[in-house]
Structure 1
């Protein structure tokens, strides 16, 4: 008796992934005679995915494992991109976040066995997002991933694009003993300084005992990857720096007005002749090392056929390290240049300046732990109950050290009057340009990638050495920054199913409640020393390596070593009694969201003209209370330290602030499936869904972003009263299952999104801790300014108050997204050949207008996608080749946008079974070495051009039972 129940769990891939994890036992109780099919091989995996789609309530697409421990791709995101309507974002040539039907990572809810999982990142550029990072979970213990594209009352709220559920293995999925192991080497062709081959090892043991009433499963994996990236791009954003001929745009170190030719600008699109300029041109080399551990322990106990208790613990550890060096030039101002038809400055020049040589060090860890218990009880023949509790935490950068350290070196500047080399102390307040450089530089943005040219002949004549010689290099600045984030989710779910209700059309009633407490505590680390030219660089190790795009070289040195030198007073050539280093500032931010939901839904079965109809109607009520806090040292003023830069002056004591908000929603849903005949299925789905804002948008903290001498002055502030996005979703689809594992489908969807969140901008003053406006010291003419050590260069009450441009997230109007999904999956009879082809078209009524400088209501991530997969397999071998394409899309939608250009990639995999237990395999990722390109408002406004290289996995897999 127990055996039959446990065998049923092996069809969880086909049944459970189409329902919420909390309803798993109820679904199983209806299918006591389901035939058990062993999952093995590509065709069988695809057949089960087709079954998930056909049997699901609403529109569900899924990917299942070919065999236990054998997921189609080693990265879950790379597998998900094969699904119609799903596309991915890549980081370091590896899928990490997903977009569904044009809705980016923050609009999709990712669950693990039906449970909402926390997320954290230590990098400031990543922000504080709810988006799950797929690179943190290995695929070895994953049984299936289901993408629920339509709403259901029992699904956790949070996904407008989709709810993506990752299903992991359990001991009752298998009969008796089963063990597997996999060893492979990862060959990354991009590697420059690391190990070109790194190991990945995984294993799992599962067994049942005591007449199959007790089960234990243990799995673990260890993965190391080294990689290298070459990048060409810019730092900061392409800027709209003014209008017309720029007679009023002064250079940072000169009184000479810029001479900009704007005659080519098409005034029909750019009537005010706005000119867009790059802040920098960069060429960089970076080397990464990533180490990941995953582990899972699952205990199951079934004292009788009506009760199953499952306890589990899931662990992941991610250790990321990266070293990057960059040759760069900063266009603090422009002498001459020509604007093209769109206003892009394509050939800026700047005389008497410098080259910059940057070093970055990234080092941080992420620790994820999840403990849970699940009880499934068939209380009576008609009533089944499920209780699920879990406590999960994601902790990034434990210990709170800066996750990112950076330093800059540059060519020296010389006194304007006597030509003596100075330490950039800015002590001449009477001369507008006390220090000048001896390097002239220019850039060209007419090609696919920019090129630069420079002339250091004047520097050579002056010093006898070129711009790359160590004697012509001085310190500039150091920065330390990052987050320590602890994200905890406590969740309780109680669900019930009451069936066998009689002979009417109503077949079952489902009801339940959920409580989720989502808590995030962050420590933001941010500090800088803006002038380190007095640092003795004698003991700094510098290596010269080949450069690119016109930079002769990239100087390799360690930011950590540079920062260590600033901590020793002996290295301060100006004052050996005082270290140049200043510890970074810390601020605390956090939120607690307490959400309670109740739901009820009804299952119906009926007929129309002899065509069976299955329907599910439900409603979910959800209420959320939010408390957000900030503890930080407020900014008391600014210090004018160079002709361009002003640094922040913090108060000695921290000040706390707390705000709260709340909201509630009714979320109805209706899913109807009609079997037109034995092979053709039609669907109609309607439902309301919500997606909450990013965590960082809720913090009450006011953060000063840009504060340059003379402006601009920008700041950001959160808004705990933000309402979530709310979408009304409509789906229509027609599916033809014409043979085993083969089907064709067409679907249309529409999503009308309300409460869309964008940035509202307000011009206002910002006060210090005493309630006085922060003032601008660069507007007060005082002797000895600018200078980093002169207190007279600090904000004074008599200085003019700064008018800050403050961005605050606000709820705006609605937008609509609609699209079509086309999919065909075909098995060529018994030949072993098969193919998949799908295409998704997505469109919105609020597309970004590159000629409009005031876009507000625009959806990021919107793009068409396509996949083409072919495979062959027989009893002992298999081969697969997969092509993925994603059209260009808007990556971020500010007044300075970034677009990711169209990208395609080809992956291959092959395996051979040596015997029934052992097989060898090889995978190839990005075998044609595709690159990634991102640009600003127009195509020649380059943001990033990155080259990674192909990656191959070669290994052996063994299974024992």
Structure 2
């Protein structure tokens, strides 16, 4: 009975993390098909829904069978893997695969990097159809995995090498997410469900995670249907330090020596050793402590309907719906250095001569500021697809597929209320401890009467992505050894985005009497807020916090009209036509068994981009063609050894936001970013070789070498100039911004992506899976799964280095140049390791996931590069079978309380933020019959 409980079908019926199907009973178990033995041919990844797994150990064996029998480089996770890792979403499940690393947002996995290539370089297909899960600020092609709970999916297949029959558009990998195949279920009714409570020890939030499944298969196997749903509601908190970057600036005075001919404003700069040294060193822009709170409500529903009217015909219709709501809040206690240095007196300071960093300082005449931001946003996703699989003869079959999806990201309100202290005062910071600095406000007050509302910002943002796909694939078995695949597809992808806002200073919006700087704060509009656990001990940690809702209502702020941001009204329509042929061969040569595929894929891309440039609507149309040959071979010298090789040409289209003629404008930091509709796709040649030794049942040692020679790659090109040189109208500048006060007060950074020279990325993947069946007693029920990836890459990026002349008329005059570094987003080392124990009643798993430091962007303010420090996450999962139909679970995420640790200026390692997210514990039950 115990083993029968663990057995379930990987299908749209029997799903993942929370709703894996508990077996019905011993009587049903004997009717179920058996997992492919170690020495038998496993089904292809496209057929993986028919595998039967009996617990975590057997799920590993099933995934290994898929990997072993594939000609190309493939890794898979089947349902039991997902079910028995305490993963909140699919990104966290994917990090178990060699070569896959994840990025986290607010403590939750949000995107993946495969072999050093980020989310924009990975193509994600949902039930065979490419799609994008949109958030309001997403203008790329990357898939936001946090939109979907892992509960809804039964398998993940990662294709690391290209085939002609595999969709183009990826340099990293093609990731297939599969939700169901109900015809592979047991006959009759299947019902499964789970319920958990989730607890976060940083904010003491307790939230539900509920999922369920109902499935039916006709006893004759002619039709089947399933529907599943997953719901979760919880709150995460990220608390700690933030600098908002580091920059150079000239101060009003240094140690009592004036730096200008007139104090506070106007006049000309007066050079002196102290003023020059302070100006050329780097100081934090807005040193602060605070917390970011994210309330998440996530609902997902999948459904599948299948018919098999004959043994040669199968019709499948599947649908997926997801809704992801976020209530986002930021609360910061800070002082404002950015753009205020001209008014600030530098009383005392310390400069590190090696890094030219002002590591500590006492400042006078500083503006104390408290900021509270609240956003409301939602993502809604629909997809429906239909597939007809028809065997026309014993040697010829065809598959016709059609589908559409739509994903909409909405942020109707992104509201920030800023209050300032009426009087300016002294402030001391000390970054001797980069992770936990000392930030102290002298003569600090928590009395609302000492503050006024000076700014209210409210922006709205909408993004929509749509996909339509029709494709035909045929398979003709020419001989017993050779099969010809021929097919083609038509796709249409649409992206559009709009923005608007009603941001303003209080005085600009409502008018102020002489001497008035804002709206008087009162007890009814504010409260005293204390920092959560954040390493801020000994700092100023209690603040008067404005109540956003109360202030907005008091001032009727939402009644003010929205002003559209015309520059952000943009869109792309992309149509692709593809065709391919591929030969699959399985044979022997001089007694050596081998399998290979070789083919050519042709794709024509037609692109139409629109946007606003210099206040005028602009549209650009273009098209380009790509021929993408590929070759994969797998050699089987022995039954336990597999040698692989692959070579292919691949391409990835530019990010959507980069293709529009419009762009974005930052009037607080004097930055303008334009798109470029004439960007070429990223093209590369990829090389792979690997060896895999399946030395025992369920065991594997593997090593793989790969290289990607990138021949074209978009890079950012930046120039320093005036706002007038951009051609943009001044109506885009908000009156409450620094640029609104002084349009040319600083040099503008004007950026645009251009076609770059490319580079090379190479790496090694190591893997080991070993069940300890050779050990005595209970130890024979333990095992290990682990892998490690090493990456090396050489790419050149355009950057700006620090200013060197403190007397420049427009300071800081950053110095343009280039930097040779690793590919952005790639960590040199990443690994994960899992130890597990499993018997008929009890299972326990612990998993470590490490990702090394990586640069994620070219820095601003002369910081060269920005990135994230290394992370090490520990997760655990335990399960006990109470009865054949009932299991209790206990799971833990981020048990090390790993911080979100970001830096700027790679050589100096200056902190950009250091924030913890807390540990997550989950307890629940699973039932099924």
1:739 aligns with 2:696: yes
Q: Quickly say closer, same or farther: Cα 1:802–1:903, change in 2 above 3 A.
A: closer
Q: Quickly say closer, same or farther: Cα 1:445–1:801, change in 2 above 3 A.
A: closer
1:583: how far off?
Answer: 3.2
- Mapped to 2, the partners of 1:51 and 1:665 lie a distance apart of 34
- Per the alignment, residue 377 of structure 1 pairs with 390
- Mapped to 2, the partners of 1:239 and 1:545 lie a distance apart of 29
1:200 aligns with 2:187: no
Q: Deviations over 1:20-57 (max 9, x none)?
A: x5xx5xx99xxxxxxx7621211111001111111112
- Mapped to 1, the partners of 2:637 and 2:528 lie a distance apart of 70
Q: Quickly say closer, same or farther: Cα 1:258–1:747, change in 2 above 3 A.
A: farther
2:240 to 224, 231, 249: 231
1:856: how far off?
Answer: 6.0
1:280: how far off?
Answer: 0.7
Q: Quickly say closer, same or farther: Cα 1:793–1:141, change in 2 above 3 A.
A: closer
1:886 aligns with 2:892: no
1:339 aligns with 2:351: yes
- Mapped to 2, the partners of 1:545 and 1:774 lie a distance apart of 38
Q: Quickly say closer, same or farther: Cα 1:259–1:131, change in 2 above 3 A.
A: farther
Q: Deviations over 1:108-166 (max 9, x none)?
A: 1111122101231124xxx4121111111112231111111111112112221111111
- Per the alignment, residue 553 of structure 2 pairs with 564
Tell me, what secondary structure is at the counterpart of 2:57?
Answer: helix
Give ranges in structure 1 of 5+ residues lacking alignment.
29-35, 266-272, 414-436, 458-465, 569-578, 636-654, 778-785
Q: Quickly say closer, same or farther: Cα 1:787–1:901, change in 2 above 3 A.
A: closer
Contact 2:60 2:81 in 1 (8 A): no
1:211 aligns with 2:188: no
- Per the alignment, residue 190 of structure 2 pairs with 178
Q: Quickly say closer, same or farther: Cα 1:210–1:81, change in 2 above 3 A.
A: closer
1:69: how far off?
Answer: 6.2
2:105 to 77, 91, 103: 91
- Mapped to 2, the partners of 1:530 and 1:344 lie a distance apart of 33
Q: Quickly say closer, same or farther: Cα 1:215–1:852, change in 2 above 3 A.
A: same
- Mapped to 1, the partners of 2:824 and 2:529 lie a distance apart of 38
Contact 2:179 2:302 in 1 (8 A): no
- Mapped to 1, the partners of 2:799 and 2:41 lie a distance apart of 46
2:87 to 63, 73, 86: 73
- Per the alignment, residue 594 of structure 2 pairs with 613
Aligned positions of 1:424-463 closer than 5 A = 437=424, 439-449=425-435, 451-454=437-440, 456-457=442-443
Contact 1:217 1:298 in 2 (8 A): yes
Q: Deviations over 1:486-507 (max 9, x none)?
A: 11000111101101x236x5x1
1:541: how far off?
Answer: 2.7
- Mapped to 2, the partners of 1:218 and 1:363 lie a distance apart of 30
1:390: how far off?
Answer: 0.7
Range that drifts further, 679-688 or 131-140: 131-140
- Per the alignment, residue 841 of structure 2 pairs with 876
Tell me, what secondary structure is at the counterpart of 2:64?
Answer: helix
1:326 aligns with 2:332: yes
Q: Quickly say closer, same or farther: Cα 1:905–1:71, change in 2 above 3 A.
A: closer
Contact 2:56 2:84 in 1 (8 A): no
- Mapped to 2, the partners of 1:482 and 1:687 lie a distance apart of 43
Q: Quickly say closer, same or farther: Cα 1:878–1:847, change in 2 above 3 A.
A: farther
1:821 aligns with 2:759: no
- Mapped to 2, the partners of 1:705 and 1:304 lie a distance apart of 62
Q: Quickly say closer, same or farther: Cα 1:753–1:212, change in 2 above 3 A.
A: same
- Per the alignment, residue 571 of structure 2 pairs with 590
Contact 1:827 1:833 in 2 (8 A): yes
- Mapped to 1, the partners of 2:896 and 2:747 lie a distance apart of 51
- Mapped to 2, the partners of 1:582 and 1:534 lie a distance apart of 20
- Per the alignment, residue 11 of structure 2 pairs with none
1:515: how far off?
Answer: 1.4
State the superposition RMSD in angstroms: 3.5
Give ranges in structure 2 of 5+ residues lacking alignment.
1-27, 508-516, 775-779, 803-816
- Mapped to 1, the partners of 2:783 and 2:397 lie a distance apart of 41
2:604 to 623, 628, 650: 623
Q: Quickly say closer, same or farther: Cα 1:37–1:751, change in 2 above 3 A.
A: closer
- Per the alignment, residue 422 of structure 2 pairs with 412
- Per the alignment, residue 664 of structure 1 pairs with 625
1:714 aligns with 2:671: yes
2:787 to 838, 841, 850: 838
Tell me, what secondary structure is at the counterpart of 2:611?
Answer: strand
1:401: how far off?
Answer: 1.6
- Per the alignment, residue 312 of structure 1 pairs with 318
- Per the alignment, residue 932 of structure 1 pairs with 900
Q: Deviations over 1:840-898 (max 9, x none)?
A: 10011237899966346752111110111100101111110001111111122244432
1:950 aligns with 2:919: yes
Q: Quickly say closer, same or farther: Cα 1:281–1:703, change in 2 above 3 A.
A: same
- Mapped to 2, the partners of 1:953 and 1:138 lie a distance apart of 15
Tell me, what secondary structure is at the counterpart of 1:345?
Answer: strand
Contact 1:39 1:67 in 2 (8 A): no
Q: Quickly say closer, same or farther: Cα 1:957–1:861, change in 2 above 3 A.
A: same
Q: Quickly say closer, same or farther: Cα 1:692–1:554, change in 2 above 3 A.
A: farther
Q: Quickly say closer, same or farther: Cα 1:566–1:441, change in 2 above 3 A.
A: same
Contact 1:540 1:562 in 2 (8 A): no
Contact 1:311 1:372 in 2 (8 A): yes
Range that drifts further, 580-589 or 204-213: 580-589
Tell me, what secondary structure is at the counterpart of 2:445?
Answer: coil
- Per the alignment, residue 306 of structure 2 pairs with 300
Contact 1:262 1:338 in 2 (8 A): no
2:73 to 50, 59, 67: 59
Contact 2:233 2:298 in 1 (8 A): yes
Q: Deviations over 1:722-777 (max 9, x none)?
A: 111112110010000011110100010001112211111245666699x8986999
- Per the alignment, residue 502 of structure 1 pairs with 479
Q: Quickly say closer, same or farther: Cα 1:351–1:518, change in 2 above 3 A.
A: same
Q: Quickly say closer, same or farther: Cα 1:517–1:453, change in 2 above 3 A.
A: closer
- Per the alignment, residue 640 of structure 1 pairs with none
Contact 2:78 2:154 in 1 (8 A): yes
- Per the alignment, residue 708 of structure 2 pairs with 751
Q: Deviations over 1:632-675 (max 9, x none)?
A: 9x67xxxxxxxxxxxxxxxxxxx422122222211111000000
- Mapped to 1, the partners of 2:879 and 2:217 lie a distance apart of 30
1:221 aligns with 2:230: yes
Contact 2:288 2:439 in 1 (8 A): no
Contact 1:275 1:345 in 2 (8 A): yes
- Per the alignment, residue 268 of structure 1 pairs with none
Tell me, what secondary structure is at the counterpart of 2:60?
Answer: helix
- Mapped to 2, the partners of 1:522 and 1:162 lie a distance apart of 27
Range that drifts further, 524-533 or 469-478: 524-533
Q: Deviations over 1:190-240 (max 9, x none)?
A: 225xxx2211111111112262211111111111112222121123x3224
1:484: how far off?
Answer: 0.8
Range that drifts further, 590-599 or 823-832: 823-832
2:459 to 473, 476, 481: 481
1:490 aligns with 2:489: no
1:676: how far off?
Answer: 1.3
Contact 1:883 1:905 in 2 (8 A): yes
